Structure 1
Amino acid sequence: MDHAAAAAALSDHFPQRIVCLTEEPTEVLYALGEERRIVGISGFTVRPPRARREKPKVSAFTSAKIGEILKLAPDLAIGFSDIQADIARELVKAGVEVWISNHRSVDGILAYIRRLGALVGAHEKAEAYALRAERHLAEIRAAAARLPRRPQVYFEEWDEPIITGIRWVAEIIGIAGGDDCFPELAREPLAKQRILPNGDEVVRRAPDIILGSWCGKRFRPEKVAARPGWDTIPAVRHGDLHEIKSPIILQPGPAALFDGLDEIHRIITEWALR
């Protein structure tokens, strides 16, 4: 048996029918060339675009079509975080094997890529992909170090109530050349722990750049700028309010390490060189 045939035979020992309850496992499996294993995806999936055309959509983030998932006869379901605990429990009760990852950092995303690759028997491809991501992080970090100044950056995940950015977002801002305005809140894993009672503390911390990604709805910079007292914030005075599309920053997967990081670095670079 030649090497290719042996590898194909070995891959049959790994999950063949995977349901991805969030976007990041879909993106990783496509990137590794293992998309044939996916039988169902999240309705929020936009990366890669072909996944939406090729795979049935069977879940949202906090709910799922359990009956539809079971009809697909999955041998593994992959989800993310405590928010999907109820979906996981229903699937486990129905006899489905479930992996819920709970990573919240850049290192966690890199480890996730490697673990997911190992789960499907694609360790070498996953290692190569993770190393590519690490090289990209290093390149952006080096470019950021050459910038003449670092901005204070306020990242807003939701507007009512105001929710600040999660840990991997704060770390990506740091790699891109800025400093997150709420580092102490970024360490909190749950969104409810990152709620601000009002906008006063943002005014006090005076960010140079405001980034918004309102988790599935369009960021409205004019609404943010009109908040009481926010006209004194440097970012508002100079018009430095920018939307980061949620699929490239709010998913703890490759999109954040590549497109999300690149977009934030571009915004910071323009500010720093102005």
Structure 2
Amino acid sequence: MNKALRRFAAILAVVACSSTGALADEAARFADTSRIVSIGGALTEIVYALGEEKHLVARDSTSLYPAEAQKLPDAGYMRALSPEGVLSVNPTGILMIEGSGPREALDVLKKASVPLVTVPDRYTRQGVVEKIHAVGKALGVEDKADKLAASVDGELAAAEKNASAIKERKRVLFILSMQGDRILAAGRNTAADGIITLAGGVNAIDGYDGYKQLNDEAVGKAAPDVILMMDRTGNHAASDEQVFASPAFAGTPAAANRKLIRMEALYLLGFGPRTAKAAHDLSVALYGDAAQH
């Protein structure tokens, strides 16, 4: 996977880096919340949802929602952090999603003695609720977090109920990148796998964890009913025509019905406060009126 793709994959948080584990328990609550750097789009979104954005002095490049967050200084890409970029805003604390790095950058930040709270990233209903509680605790606003978590948990429970009511589930193939005939697709234990399940679909790829390239045979065997992709531009963008022209999809139900869904990356895969709505939108795109319970 080249550098540009690694940068875009930050929004997905596909694999948690073990290097953050040593830092996860260093602090659960910031003593001084006056100048916080938020690393991770879902965490930044939670801070805003809690109404605590006044504490933020910088955010990472995956923090694109809400739009006001983009006015904050950009501290860099979450998986290729520069300690200088993070420390340049003189933070009193760093709120970081699990999987951020690299290890060398985290070591420098640790030596800088800036309190760091690492929040676990899980692609489930409970994972979202845990994120909200962790952010609320870090900022000292547990009461606000309890209310937000309860609301989001209820929305996600409803999404799970709707998903369980779907009888004939569609097989969904999530494509992260497609250059030529090189198809990079999501397996188990990914944000894509989590949102597909929450929307009532079945991940067409269940033979591996994470993201891997598929050959034509593997795509044919997966037999997707639907292809799911992110809205994107640049070198890794692919039009519907390019996707369906690939020999890999010949004979698949998705190609026969020209069924391809595109959604905004952070909304689809962030696993934050908007995840229930994203799951609903994906379910409607998959099943139409049948998803409107």
Q: TM-score range by the shorter chain?
A: 0.7 to 0.9
Cα offsets for 1:111-167 (capped at 9, x unmatched)? 111111111111121122122122112222333344452111111223345131543
CA 1:258–1:140 in 2, change beyond 3 Å: closer, same or farther? closer
CA 1:209–1:141 in 2, change beyond 3 Å: closer, same or farther? same
Larger Rg: 1
1:76 matched residue in structure 2 = 93
- Contact kept, 8 Å, 1:81 with 1:100, in 2: the verdict is yes
1:56 matched residue in structure 2 = 73
2:284 matched residue in structure 1 = 266
CA distance in 2, matches of 1:216, 1:93: 38
- SS class of match (2:250): helix
Q: 2:242 matched to 1:223?
A: yes
1:37-48 equivalent positions in 2, closer than 5 A: 37-48=55-66
CA 1:252–1:208 in 2, change beyond 3 Å: closer, same or farther? same
Cα offsets for 1:219-266 (capped at 9, x unmatched)? 5332221221412110111011111221212334334x1342122111
Aligned-residue Cα RMSD (Å) equals 2.6
Percent identity of the aligned residues? 23
Q: Which amino acid aligns with 1:242?
A: I
For structure 2, list consecutive stretches of 5 or more residues without a partner in the other structure. Answer: 1-28
CA distance in 1, matches of 2:232, 2:120: 18
Please identify which structure carries the higher helix content.
1
Q: 2:37 matched to 1:15?
A: no
Question: How far off its partner does 1:108 sit?
Answer: 2.0
Q: Which amino acid aligns with 2:246?
A: R
From 204, 207, 230, the counterpart of 1:181: 204
* Range that drifts further, 233-242 or 210-219: 210-219
Q: 2:144 matched to 1:121?
A: no
Q: Which amino acid aligns with 2:200?
A: G
Using the size of structure 1 for normalisation, the TM-score is 0.82
CA distance in 2, matches of 1:69, 1:168: 26
For structure 1, list consecutive stretches of 5 or more residues without a partner in the other structure. Answer: 1-10
- SS class of match (1:43): coil
CA distance in 1, matches of 2:70, 2:81: 16
- Contact kept, 8 Å, 2:170 with 2:286, in 1: the verdict is yes
- Contact kept, 8 Å, 1:150 with 1:272, in 2: the verdict is no
1:144 matched residue in structure 2 = 163
CA distance in 2, matches of 1:95, 1:34: 24
CA distance in 2, matches of 1:35, 1:182: 38
- Contact kept, 8 Å, 2:120 with 2:131, in 1: the verdict is no
CA distance in 2, matches of 1:14, 1:219: 46
CA distance in 2, matches of 1:248, 1:179: 19
1:5 matched residue in structure 2 = none
* Range that drifts further, 86-95 or 212-221: 212-221
1:248 matched residue in structure 2 = 267
* Range that drifts further, 137-146 or 232-241: 137-146
Question: How far off its partner does 1:14 sit?
Answer: 4.8
Q: 2:178 matched to 1:167?
A: no
Q: How many residues align?
A: 255
1:205 matched residue in structure 2 = 222
**Greater relative CO (CA pairs within 8 A, separation 6+):** 2
CA distance in 2, matches of 1:252, 1:91: 26
